[in-house]
Structure 1
Amino acid sequence: MPLLILFIAIPIIEIGLFIQVGGWLGLWPTLAIVILTAVIGTYLLRLQGMAALARLQNNLRTGQSPMDPIVNGAMILVAGVLLLTPGFFTDTIGLLMLTPPVRALLIRWGAAKFVNKSTVIFTSAGGPRSDPRQGTRPDNGTVDGDYVVLDDDDAQTRGNSGWTKPD
């Protein structure tokens, strides 16, 4: 439901802003501002996107968690989409999302929302439920699994995928 409200409210806000700014500046300056924000947004998107990619590669190379650069990169992508969408409201939101302090604030807010709504339950196959507060699962030594025996004749019909031994 909130997404439907956004899809209805944002175009109405954009139309109202176009009418106000167009009445104040005129048609051509208004269109020039929209095109200029798209060009600037594309430049900033490329600049910050490459920086986020470099941070991701550095984190992967040093063995650190890649989560922060991935989330920042996703938010930069959303900001770029908003900047490329014609309109003053979406451009303002997109420019705000390109600033690192605003991104950090949104990430903290989103993480708090996600953590408060998630529930993790640990279970072991065929055994009693474990207590997530203990951090361990009961181990009764039983491993449950399924298997299929493949004859050599079946290997001929499967083809050579590169993962099978050559004859």
Structure 2
Amino acid sequence: MAARPRLTGVLLVAFVLVPLLEIFVLVQVGQVIGAWWTIFLLVLDSAIGAWLVRREGARAWRALRSTLAAGRLPAGEIADGALVLIGGTLMLTPGFATDALGILLVLPFTRPLFRRTLTSAVARRLVVVPPGGQGPFGPRNARRPGPDVVRGDVVDRGTDRAADEDVDGGSDGRAGA
């Protein structure tokens, strides 16, 4: 039940405090440089942000593809892609504060700081199942089709050798099969 107060706090910040901060910053900038220059800066900021997200998104995509082609686990590349996506979304919202955070998430020299934070947050929430061990869904070799499976249906049994055998011992009633 501890997750509900944390979620409420996040929603409060996201939907109440951030818009109030954005309005405050917009009013302050508008009073200093004028309304039209403020609008011009917002449009310019969005255009630069779109260009930056497109460039860094393409770079993250290329890095992901090359890592997969090399046969390595693309954990950092996936995190980079997620950060570019989140940063781009923040830059789409009107306002200078969310644009500043979005730019920090997208820039290649500030992204590693946020990547470590994202990686540690995701790692805290992962459930690790030891190989061949008891996981959150029961024993590893318990993936047998239930009584609702009709002969001839395709059943995903995973990659276990024991699960690759037919349920009834290998005889399916067809000759030569």
TM-score in same-fold range (> 0.5): yes
Long gaps (5+) in structure 1: 128-136, 151-167
Matching of residues 102-141 of structure 1 within 5 Å: 102-120=110-128, 122-123=133-134
Is the contact between residue 56 and residue 108 of structure 2 (CA under 8 Å) also seen in structure 1?
no
Question: Which residue identity is paired with 2:10?
Answer: L
Query: Is the partner of 2:151 in helix, strand or coil?
Result: coil
Structure 2 equivalent of residue 153 of structure 1: none
Long gaps (5+) in structure 2: 1-7, 153-177
Structure 2 equivalent of residue 100 of structure 1: 108
Identical columns (%): 33
Structure 2 equivalent of residue 145 of structure 1: 144
Is the contact between residue 76 and residue 115 of structure 2 (CA under 8 Å) also seen in structure 1?
no
Matching of residues 52-131 of structure 1 within 5 Å: 52-120=60-128, 122-123=133-134
Structure 2 residue aligned with 1:5, among 12, 28, 34?
A: 12
Is the contact between residue 56 and residue 107 of structure 2 (CA under 8 Å) also seen in structure 1?
no
Structure 2 equivalent of residue 157 of structure 1: none
1:25 & 1:10 partners in 2: Cα distance? 22
Moved over 4 A (4+): 124-127
2:113 & 2:51 partners in 1: Cα distance? 23
1:118 & 1:63 partners in 2: Cα distance? 22
TM-score, normalised with respect to structure 1: 0.72
Structure 1 residue aligned with 2:51, among 20, 40, 43?
A: 43
Change (3 A) 1:52 1:13: same
Please give the per-residue CA displacement for 1:69-124, whole angstroms capped at 9, x wherever unaligned: 12101110111111121101011101111223432112212322333454535417
Aligned residues: 137
Question: Which residue identity is paired with 1:149?
Answer: R
Please tell me the root mean square deviation across aligned C-alpha atoms, in Å. Answer: 2.4
